[in-house]
Copies of this chain bind each other. A is one copy, B any other.
């Protein structure tokens, strides 16, 4: 396959058009919007099934409200867009475009939460957020207007309930990214790289085909830092008052960059059937004198597959079959059904899989079972292929000199994040310590200082 950057920049245009005259502001194509919707509707489902309710909060934040949590505002103030004028009048207080919504939501939590009975309070919204990025933008990876940021915010009676929520969210996110077939690591970020204002930050980092990592989800325990500033407290059972413990959890449109990056090939996108905007394309193969027969059979199959609940396109346009194949393959459509006079004559279909290219002729009556079964196989195959493609890029560093290699993600056994940080110097430029794996225990000694290791850390070149 061609260079990953080049491939990504070309193929991502099917999802978002980046020719809008503001850098880092994207236009979602109908195709891209649909892919996004299918993915985020899955996420909504998972969140709703665990008691999170969808809501919508305002976009604008008065300056004095954004500044209430000191650490938080330090982390964001340099990249906030400021509204200073309404019409021709100067505003009394400048308004920030939300870079994230903690300072929007928690003042409302303060109004909504009275007693223990109101907890936990679990809400989420899917909104655009804004960062005045001074770094180079990259469509869906680093944008100035971030589309479809799913942010869940939860208030809990105590730290234990907050920790329970962190676990629930990890389970949900795993299920979500597994469904998308995205290979990832789950990391606890080091203290210096936590979300501004958080006590603890957990991150899902995707392993990208070029050996970089991409943060695709985060889950933060905010402790009582924000509750204190925004007075999110409740009456306890004994009549006293206690601060709520807050957690927040985000996944943005980057997840779409993730699924696109995980599965493509030189022909274009390959999409997991569950999320493909078009799951089945039917291409009639013209044959002189049999056009009517072929087309009416193709229409019958179209109807049948749609009735079974699949998203189907019948491509009866003017282009050659070859051009049609090319067009739909580029868009990652999992199944192609080719229909010629032979298929029409003996009630069969020719089914081609996008992921493997496998082609077989099968009786039409098997359509339902075949699509169901193959869709599962494709999802599994994509997940496995994506994982294998990148897992060879993850190397355990056995000596400091291992760290000199390019294009890799390093596992380092260390005794502390600080020791891991010192190892960064042994790496080539751009590599950084991203945190330690939540699900892996070390076996040996700290690569930096030789003491007994406590963590398996990750050093990578992160987007």
Which of A29, A34, A56, A86 has the most C-beta atoms of chain B within 10 angstroms of its own C-beta?
A56
Contact of A79 among B26, B30, B87 (CB under 8 A): B87
Q: Please indicate the chain B residues that have their CB under 8 angstroms from the CB of A33 in the complex.
A: 53-56
Tell me if A's interface is mostly helix, strand, loop or mixed: mixed
Sorting the interface of chain A by its residue count into under 10, 10 to 19, 20 to 34 or 35 or more gives: 35 or more
Judged by a CB distance under 8 angstroms, whether A85 is at the interface is: yes
- Does the CB pair B29–A55 fall under 8 Å? yes
Contact of A62 among B17, B21, B60, B83 (CB under 8 A): B21
CA A58 to CA B77, docked complex, whole Å: 22
Q: Which of A383-407 contact B (CB under 8 A)?
A: none
Contact of A30 among B55, B59, B81 (CB under 8 A): B55
CA A79 to CA B85, docked complex, whole Å: 10
Produce 1/0 per residue, A27-71, CB < 8 A to B.
111100110010000000000000001111111101001000000
User: Contacts A60-B145, A83-B83, A86-B132 given: A20-B55 contact, CB under 8 Å?
Assistant: no
CB distance from A59 to the nearest CB of B (A): 6
CA A132 to CA B95, docked complex, whole Å: 12
Judged by a CB distance under 8 angstroms, whether A160 is at the interface is: no
Which of A57, A62, A65, A107 has the most C-beta atoms of chain B within 10 angstroms of its own C-beta?
A57
Which of A25, A79, A80 has the most C-beta atoms of chain B within 10 angstroms of its own C-beta?
A25
Closest partner residue, chain B, to A21 (CB atom):
B62
Produce 1/0 per residue, A268-297, CB < 8 A to B.
000000000000000000000000000000
CB distance from A26 to the nearest CB of B (A): 7
User: Contacts A77-B87, A83-B97, A88-B78 given: A58-B132 contact, CB under 8 Å?
Assistant: no
CB distance from A108 to the nearest CB of B (A): 6
Q: Please indicate the chain B residues that have their CB under 8 angstroms from the CB of A30 in the complex.
A: 53-55, 123
CA A58 to CA B20, docked complex, whole Å: 8
Closest partner residue, chain B, to A28 (CB atom):
B56
CB distance from A132 to the nearest CB of B (A): 3
Q: Please indicate the chain B residues that have their CB under 8 angstroms from the CB of A56 in the complex.
A: 27-28, 33, 147
Q: Lowest 9 A-B CB distances belong to which pairs?
A: A86-B132, A30-B53, A25-B58, A28-B56, A82-B85, A78-B87, A84-B84, A81-B83, A87-B132
Q: Which residues of A contact B (CB under 8 A)?
A: 17, 19-22, 25-30, 33-34, 37, 53-60, 62, 65, 77-89, 94-95, 97, 104, 107-108, 111, 123, 128, 130, 132, 134, 145, 147
Could you give 12 example pairs across A and B, Cβ below 8 Å? A20-B104, A20-B107, A25-B59, A27-B55, A30-B53, A30-B54, A37-B54, A60-B145, A77-B87, A82-B85, A83-B97, A87-B132
| Besides A59-B145, A81-B95, 13 new A-B residue pairs in contact (Cβ under 8 A), listed by A number | A17-B108, A20-B57, A20-B107, A21-B62, A22-B58, A25-B58, A27-B55, A27-B108, A28-B57, A33-B56, A79-B87, A80-B86, A83-B97
